[in-house]
Amino acid sequence: MLSALLLQSGYNATLVAIGAALLGFAAGMVGTFVNLRRRALVSDAMAHATLPGIGLGFLAMVALGGEGRALPGLLAGAALTAALGLWAVQALTRTRLTEDAAIGAVLSTFYGAGIVILTVIQTLGAGKPAGLETVLLGSTAGMLEMDAITLAIGGALVLAVLAVLRRALVMTAFDPGHAAMMGIGTRAMDTALMLLTLAVVLLGLRVVGLILIVALLVIPAAAARLWSDRAGVVAIIAGVIGAAAGHIGAALSATVPDLPTGPVIVLLCFAAFALSLILSPKRGLLRRLTHAG
């Protein structure tokens, strides 16, 4: 375990740990703005909408003569159906449906379609579908070198884009009217935030899984919010919490391959949230009990 934490468990395990840490950092920072814009449930709908795309991506690659396991092909399919799911939520909210009803309808429909497609794939006997189910809860044990490199580069790119857009995203989150007066396209910033969220969702499929990726977006940001009121500081703290959870979770998965990586990472995030809830100098339970006494 210690060797895995110190990045001494081999080249591939080191790449996975670095990639998981970058993913966690990116998810924590993006999640800060997702929470500020109250888009957590939309993010969950997008995550569940990736499942049919993964199945369709597999079938498309098999039809082209491949094994169906190439990560770029699976991510491309997932991106298409996730974008379709986001469009469906936005279209339904323009009707008389409330946003939560639209999200529930899209989430359950796309997830159900994905389960049906994966079941059909298992019965076809084409390609190599073994391991596709790991996208549900995440698993780093079987990640290839190229998968780990893709994860690390993707996480770094998300952070780079976020660094460029941070000021505009903060202004849009707190005062859209003032941001518009300053020449910032608030609709463009909302779209950019959803695209960054989609990138985190896609990158997190192999590590955390589509069922729990929203937790990596929400919990670190919620924990960080207990320590500061400044959006920039909250984003950094959330990133650190997410990175630590990703790194430790990947190390545990490397040490005990049968452990599902996603649930471990989420539990580590919750542990950080629980500690923050108790120890926060401004809003912590310990401070309240001390002042009450």
Q: What is the mean pLDDT of residues 158-171?
A: 88
Say if residues 80 and 53 touch (Cβ distance below 8 Å): yes
Question: 209 in the Ramachandran plot: left (φ > 0), alpha (ψ -120 to 50) or beta?
Answer: left
Closest CA to 32 of 172, 143, 127: 172
pLDDT digits (tens, 9 = 90+) for 173-218: 777 787 888 888 888 888 888 899 999 998 888 788 888 888 999 9
d(CA 266, CA 263): 5
Half-sphere exposure of 198 (CA within 13 A, CB side): 22
**Structure confidence at residue 112 (pLDDT):** 94
d(CA 110, CA 123): 20
- Between 141 and 32, where is the model more confident? 32
> Which CATH code of 1.10.3470.10, 3.40.640.10, 1.20.120.160, 1.10.150.120 fits the domain covering 2-281?
1.10.3470.10
Q: Please indicate whether residue 79 or residue 125 has the higher confidence score (pLDDT).
A: 79
Note whether 17 and 141 are within 8 A (CB).
no
DSSP 34-74: HHHTT-HHHHHHHHHHHHHHHHHHHHHHHHTTS-S--HHHH
Taken in order 193, 161, 6, 3, the sign of the CA dihedral is positive
Domain ranges of the chain: 2-281
Among residues 75, 46, 60, 84, the alpha carbon closest in space to that of 194 is found at: 46
Q: Is the pLDDT of residue 18 over 60?
A: yes
Residue 53: pLDDT band (50, 70, 90) is very high
Listed ranges 111-115, 137-141, 260-264; the one with the highest mean pLDDT: 111-115
Q: What is the pLDDT of residue 141?
A: 64
Is a pLDDT exceeding 90 seen at residue 238? yes
Q: Residues 45, 202, 156, CA angle at the centre, nearest 5°?
A: 130
Q: Look at residue 27 and tell me whether its pLDDT is greater than 80.
A: yes
